[in-house]
């Protein structure tokens, strides 16, 4: 039977009721998304709407990469729904990154590139971030520092080391993207890296590397012998 309206579904098949009865772990991605979206659109109940959205965006990972503005381009996604969905996805991401039991360990530039590549390769502006590490190279957090073309005025040592000090970090890794897709470091990238490395030596927080993310490519200034 084709249930066009969600209220026509048997109660035991409704996403919210299934969550109450079996717990969130028992729900499919479509059902969880349906609970967040709450209502469908003309011709689609909320489950069908959720299924279409997952298909068109490439699943949860695809949804997570979209901005609020990009989400509103999909039929049925107004600004309120898009904002609520983006906030829920971000909350989930933060809950994972803040759990010490699942914090990734960084042992190479490839590790840090793997951690951020899928998100940062699609950004349309340069985002500079600092990755704080423990004594065992566990990621303690990734702090946004600036958005825009990298230069000395945007990237101040005070801002770069503030979160690292607060987290009692042993070391940091500098991280930013090149929207052009080419991760080749500019002279400004190199100057900023050396300036922050000098600042880290004064503070006793080592700058281990500066990783530049391109389109499915990355460059480590440490591997290049620049740092």
In a domain? residue 104: no
Place of tokens 């609970």: 35
In a domain? residue 26: yes
Instruction: Compute the distance between CA of residue 27 and CA of residue 14 in angstroms, rounded to an integer.
Output: 10
CB burial of residue 12 (10 Å; 0-12, 13-18, 19+): exposed
212 and 128 housed in the same domain? yes
153-189: b (≥16 Cβ within 10 Å) or e:
ebbebeebbebbeeeebbbbbbbbbbbeeebebeeeb
141 and 53 housed in the same domain? no
Are the C-beta atoms of 116 and 160 separated by less than 8 Å? no
Are the C-beta atoms of 66 and 82 separated by less than 8 Å? no
* Amino acid 99: pLDDT: 56
In a domain? residue 59: yes
Q: Average pLDDT across each block of 10 residues of the chain; the chain has 227 residues. List them in order.
A: 53 79 86 89 88 89 85 92 90 65 82 87 87 91 81 71 89 94 93 93 94 94 92
Expressed as residue numbers, the domain containing 135 is 109-224
89 and 171 housed in the same domain? no
Q: Is the pTM of this model over 0.75?
A: no
130 and 165 housed in the same domain? yes
* Amino acid 9: pLDDT: 62
* Amino acid 91: pLDDT: 82
* Amino acid 200: pLDDT: 93
* Amino acid 2: pLDDT: 40
* 173 Rama class: left (phi>0) / alpha (psi -120 to 50) / beta: beta
């Amino acid at each position: 039977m084709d249930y066009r309206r969600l209220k026509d579904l048997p109660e035991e098949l409704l996403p919210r009721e299934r969550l109450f009865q079996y717990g969130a772990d028992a729900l499919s991605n479509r059902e969880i998304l349906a609970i967040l979206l709450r209502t469908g659109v003309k011709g689609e109940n909320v489950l069908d709407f959720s299924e279409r959205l997952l298909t068109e965006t490439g699943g949860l990972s695809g949804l997570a990469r979209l901005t609020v503005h990009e989400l509103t381009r999909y039929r049925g996604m107004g600004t309120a729904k898009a904002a609520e969905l983006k906030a829920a996805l971000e909350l989930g991401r933060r809950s994972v990154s803040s759990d010490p039991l699942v914090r990734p360990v960084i042992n190479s530039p490839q590790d840090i590139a793997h951690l951020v590549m899928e998100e940062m390769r699609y950004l349309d502006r340069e985002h500079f971030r600092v990755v704080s590490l423990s004594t065992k190279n566990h990621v303690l957090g990734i702090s946004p520092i600036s958005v825009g073309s990298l230069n000395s005025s945007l990237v101040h040592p005070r801002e770069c080391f503030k979160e690292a000090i607060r987290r009692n970090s042993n070391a940091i890794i500098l991280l930013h993207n090149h929207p052009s897709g080419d991760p080749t470091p500019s002279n400004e990238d190199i100057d900023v890296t050396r300036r922050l490395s000098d600042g880290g030596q004064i503070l006793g927080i080592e700058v281990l590397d500066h990783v530049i993310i391109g389109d499915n490519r990355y460059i480590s200034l440490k591997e290049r012998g620049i740092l």
